[in-house]
Structure 1
Amino acid sequence: MTAPGRRSSTFTRLLRHGFTDPSAAEKLLETPELSAVRSDPVLLEALGATADPDLALHGLVRLLEAQPTPTARRELFDTLIASKPLRDRLLGVLGASAALGDHLARHAGDWHALVTYEPRDLHRDVADFERGLADADDPVSLRVAYRRCLLSIAARDVCGTIGVVETAAELADLATATLRAALRIACAAAPEDAERCRLAVIAMGKCGGHELNYVSDVDVIFVAEPAPGADGEPGDETKALRAATRLASHLMRICSETTVEGSIWPVDANLRPEGRNGPLVRTLSSHLAYYQRWAKTWEFQALLKARPVAGDAELGRRYVEALAPLVWQAAERENFVADVQRMRRRVVENIPADEVERELKLGPGGLRDVEFAVQLLQLVHGRADPSLRSGTTLDALKALAAGGYVGRADADQLAESYRFLRFVEHRIQLYQLRRTHLLPADEAGLRRLGRSLGLRADPVTELTRAWRRHTGVVRRLHEKLFYRPLLDAVAQLAPGEARLSPEAARERLVALGYADPAAALRHLEALASGVTRRAAIQRTLLPVLLGWFADSADPDAGLLNFRKVSDALGKTPWYLRLLRDEGAAAENLARVLSAGRLAPDLLMRAPEAVALLGDGTGDGSGLAPRGRAQLEQEVLAAVGRAESAEQGVTAARGVRRRELFRTAAADIIGSYGTETRPAEADQGALVDRVGAAVSDLTAATLAGTLRAVVREVWGDTLPTRFAIIGMGRFGGHELGYGSDADVLFVHEPREGVDEREASQAANRVVAEMRRLLQAPSADPPLLIDADLRPEGRSGPLVRTLTSYAAYYRRWSLVWEAQALLRAEPVAGDEDLGRRFVELIDPLRYPQGGLGTDAVREIRRLKARMEAERLPRGADPKLHTKLGPGGLSDVEWTVQLLQLRHAAEVPGLRTTRTRAALAAAAGAGLVAEDEAAILDEAWVLATRVRNAVMLVRGRASDTFPTQPRDLAAVGRYLGYGPGHVGDMLDAYRRTARRARSVVEDLFYGS
Structure 2
Amino acid sequence: MRVASQRDLIAVGFADLERAERFLQARELESVSREQLLEGLSHCANPDSALLLLVRIAERDKSVLKLVGRGESSIPLFRVLGASEALGEFLVRQPRFLSTLGTVPERTFHERDVASLTAEMLRSVGADPQAERPVATVTGTPGIVALRVQYRALLLDLAMRDLCCGDPEEAFPQVAAELADLAGAAIAAGLALARADVSEKSSPEIVDSLRIAVMGMGKCGARELNYISDVDVIYVHAVRDSVKDDDAARLDEQAASKMAAQLATLTARAMNATAPEPGLWELDANLRPEGKDGALSRTLDSHLAYYKRWAQTWEFQALLKARFLAGDPELGVEYEAAVAPMIWASSEREGFVESTQAMRRRVTDNIPAAEVNRQIKLGPGGLRDVEFTVQLLQLVHGRVEESLRVRDTLSGIEVLAEAGYMSRADAAKFGGAYRYLRVLEHRIQLTRLRRTHLMPTKPEEIRTIARASLGMDAQSWISGDEMLARWQSTKREVRGLHEKIFYRPLLATAANLSADEVRLTPEAAQARLKALGYADPKNAMRHIEALTSGVSRRAQLQRQLLPVLLGWIAEGVDPDAGLLGFRRLSESLGESHWFLGMLRDSPAGAQRLCSILSSSRFITDLLEVSPESAAWLGNDADLEPYTFDSLWSEISSKLGRHKDREKRLRLIRLIRRRELLRIALADSARLIDQDQVGRALSDADRAAVLGILRVAEQEEYSEHTKLTELLIVAMGRQGGREIGYGSDVDVMYVHRPVDGADEQAAQEQALRIVGNIQAFVGMPLKPAILAEPKLEVDADLRPEGRQGPLVRTLDAYREYYSRWSGVWETQALLRARPLGGSDTLAAEFFELVDSVRYNARLSPSDVVEIRRIKARVESERMPRGADPSRQLKLGRGGLSDVEWLAQYLQLCHAKTYPSLRTTSTRAALRAISEAGILPAADVEVLDHAWVLATRIRCANIIVSGRASDQLPRNIRDMEAAARWCGYAAGQATKLEDDYLKSARRARTVFEKHFYADC
Correspondence for 1:677: none
Structure 2 residue 222 is matched with structure 1 residue 209: yes
Task: After TM superposition, give the deviation of residue 197 of structure 1 in Å.
Answer: 0.5
Q: Deviations over 1:412-453 (max 9, x none)?
A: 333222211111111122222232222233222222221122
Shift of 1:956: 2.1
The answer for the alignment partner of 1:98 in structure 2 is 85
Structure 1 segments unaligned to the other structure (5+ residues)? 672-684
1:238 lines up with 2:225 in the alignment:
no
Match of 1:50 among 44, 51, 56: 44
Identify the range of structure 1 (410-419 vs 52-61) with the bigger mean alpha-carbon deviation: 52-61
> In the superposition, relative to structure 1, how do residues 227 and 57 fare at CA in structure 2: closer, same or farther (>3 Å)?
same
Distance 2:25 2:933 in 1: 84
Q: Residues 647 and 443 from structure 1, CA distance in 2 versus in 1: closer, same or farther, beyond 3 angstroms?
A: same
Change beyond 3 A, Cα 1:182–1:866: closer
C-alpha distance 119-983 of structure 1, shift in aligned 2 (>3 A): closer
**1:848-927 paired onto structure 2 within 5 Å:** 849-927=857-935
Q: Structure 2 regions of 5+ residues with no counterpart? A: 126-142
Instruction: Report the equivalent of 1:785.
Output: 794
In the alignment, is the contact (CA less than 8 A) between 1:51 and 1:452 conserved in 2? yes
Name the counterpart of 1:707. Answer: 710
How many angstroms does 1:951 deviate by? 1.7
- The match for 1:473 is 493
Pick one of 99, 115, 127 that aligns with 1:127: 115
Match of 1:679 in 2: none
**SS in structure 2 at match of 1:584:** helix
Give the Cα–Cα distance (whole angstroms) in 2 for the partners of residues 73 and 745 of structure 1: 99
Distance 2:400 2:569 in 1: 26
Q: Which moved more, 1:727-736 or 1:47-56?
A: 47-56
* Structure 1 contact 552–595 (Cα < 8 Å) conserved: yes
Match of 1:362 in 2: 378
Aligned partners of 2:184 and 2:910: how far apart in 1?
77
Structure 1 residues 887 and 53, CA gap change in structure 2 (3 angstroms): closer
Aligned-pair CA distance for 1:934: 1.9
Q: Contact (CA 8 Å) 1:636, 1:703: kept in 2 or not?
A: no
Structure 2: distance between partners of 1:62 and 1:622:
66
Work out whether 1:488 is the aligned partner of 2:508: yes
Contact 1:726 1:823 in 2 (8 A): yes
Query: Which residue of 1 is the match for residue 367 of structure 2?
Result: 351
Q: Is the 8 A contact 2:505 2:517 kept in 1?
A: no
After the TM superposition, which residues 734-773 of structure 1 pair with which residues of structure 2 at under 5 Å, given as runs? Answer: 734-773=738-777
In structure 1, give the amino acid aligned to 2:227. Answer: Y
Structure 1 Cα separation of the partners of residues 32 and 616 of structure 2: 79
Pair 1:690 & 2:693 matched: yes
Equivalent position of 2:572 in the other structure = 552
1:527 alignment partner, one of 547, 552, 557: 547
1:171-212 Cα offsets, whole Å, 9 max, x none, are 112222222222233334423453130000101121111111
Amino acid in the other structure paired with 1:301: Q
Output one character per residue of 1:929-976: Cα deviation in whole Å (capped at 9) or x when no partner.
222222222222222221111122122222345543343223323455
Q: Give 1:184's aligned residue.
A: 192
Q: CA deviation at 1:469?
A: 1.6
Contact 1:885/1:993, CA 8 A, preserved across alignment: yes
One-letter code of the match for 2:743?
S
- Conservation of the 8 A alpha-carbon contact between 1:844 and 1:899: yes
> What percentage of residue pairs aligned between the two structures are identical?
49
Answer whether contact 1:197 1:241 (CA < 8 A) is retained: no
Paired position in structure 2 for 1:818: 827
Q: Secondary structure at 1:736's aligned position in 2?
A: coil
SS at match of 2:711: helix
Structure 1 CA distance for aligned equivalents of residues 868 and 927 of structure 2: 26
Does structure 1 retain, via aligned residues, the 8 Å contact 2:67–2:74?
no
What's the offset of the Cα at 1:45? 4.2
Q: Distance in 2 between matches of 1:767 and 1:44?
A: 98
Match of 1:291 in 2: 307
Distance 1:836 1:856, change over 3 A: same
Within-5 A mapping of 1:508-527: 508-527=528-547
Helix, strand or coil at the partner of 1:789: coil
TM-fit CA distance, 1:31: 6.5
Matching residue's letter, 2:602: E
What's the offset of the Cα at 1:334?
A: 4.4
Report the alpha carbon displacement of residue 574 of structure 1 after superposing the two structures with TM: 0.7
Instruction: Write the distance in 2 (CA, Å) between the matches of 1:405 and 1:120.
Output: 31
In structure 2, do the counterparts of structure 1 residues 795 and 158 end up closer, same or farther at CA, with 3 Å as the change threshold? Answer: same
Q: 1:663 to 1:119 in 2, by over 3 A?
A: closer
Check the 8 A contact 1:729/1:822 in 2, yes or no. Answer: yes
Residue 970 of structure 1: aligned partner: 978
| Distance change in 2, residues 1:808/1:258 (3 Å) | closer
In the other structure, the counterpart of 1:593 is 613
Matches within 5 A, 1:608-757: 608-615=628-635, 620-670=636-686, 686-715=689-718, 718-757=722-761
Task: Flag the 1:814–1:17 CA change in 2: closer, same or farther, 3 A.
Answer: closer
Task: Describe the shift of the 1:824–1:64 C-alpha distance in structure 2 as closer, same or farther (beyond 3 A).
Answer: closer
Residue in structure 2 matched with residue 680 of structure 1 by the alignment: none
Bigger Cα displacement from structure 2, 89-98 vs 305-314 = 89-98
Cα shift at 1:126: 0.3
- Return the offset for 1:755: 2.8
Contact 2:122 2:192 in 1 (8 A): no
SS in 1 for 2:320: helix
- The RMSD of aligned alpha carbons is 2.9
Q: Return 750-759 or 640-649, whichever deviates more.
A: 750-759
Q: How does 1:113-124 map to 2 (within 5 A)?
A: 113-114=100-101, 115=103, 122-124=110-112
Q: Secondary structure at the match of 1:667?
A: helix
> What is the CA–CA distance in structure 2 between the aligned matches of 1:419 and 1:877, rounded to whole Å?
54
The SS at the match of 2:466 is helix
Secondary structure, aligned partner of 1:494: coil
Question: What are the superposed Cα offsets for residues 956-997 of structure 1, whole Å, 9 maximum, x if unpaired?
Answer: 222345543343223323455665444334323222222222
Residue in structure 1 matching 2:484, options 448, 460, 464: 464
Sort the Cα spacing of 1:107 and 1:813 in 2 relative to 1 into closer, same or farther, 3 A. closer
Superposition map of 1:358-507 within 5 A: 358-454=374-470, 456=476, 458-507=478-527
In 2, Cα distance between the equivalents of 1:18 and 1:537? 50
Distance 1:845 1:474, change over 3 A: same
Aligned residues: 973
Report the secondary structure of 1:882's partner residue.
Answer: coil
| Map of 1:324 onto structure 2 | 340
**Partner of residue 144 from structure 1, selected from 146, 149, 156:** 149
The answer to whether the 8 A contact 1:229-1:235 is kept is no
Contact residue 122 and residue 188 of structure 2 kept, 8 A: no
1:12 Cα offset (Å): 4.7
Q: Compared with structure 1, are the counterparts of its residues 121 and 654 closer, same or farther at alpha carbon in structure 2 (3 Å cutoff)?
A: closer
Note the C-alpha offset of 1:92: 2.2
Displacement of 1:647: 0.8
Q: Decide whether the 8 Å contact of 2:105 with 2:164 is kept in 1.
A: no
8 A Cα contact 2:798 2:804, kept in partner:
yes
* Residues 987 and 828 of structure 1: CA distance in aligned 2, closer, same or farther (over 3 Å): same
Q: Cα gap change, 1:924/1:35 in structure 2, threshold over 3 Å: closer, same or farther?
A: closer
- C-alpha change, 1:391 and 1:833, in structure 2 (3 Å) is same
- 8 A contact 1:196–1:240 mirrored in 2: no
Instruction: Quote the residue 1:675 is aligned against.
Output: none
Contact 1:846 1:900 in 2 (8 A): no
Opposite residue 548 of structure 1, the aligned amino acid is: W
Equivalent residue letter for 1:555: P
Cα pair 2:76 2:104 within 8 Å, conserved: no
CA distance in 2, matches of 1:557, 1:542: 16
Cα contact 1:220–1:268 (8 A) shared by 2: yes
Secondary structure of 2:318's counterpart equals helix
Instruction: From the superposition, tell whether residues 334 and 906 of structure 1 become closer, same or farther in structure 2 (CA, over 3 Å).
Output: farther
> How far apart are residue 648 of structure 1 and its match?
0.7
The AA in structure 1 aligned to 2:309 is: R
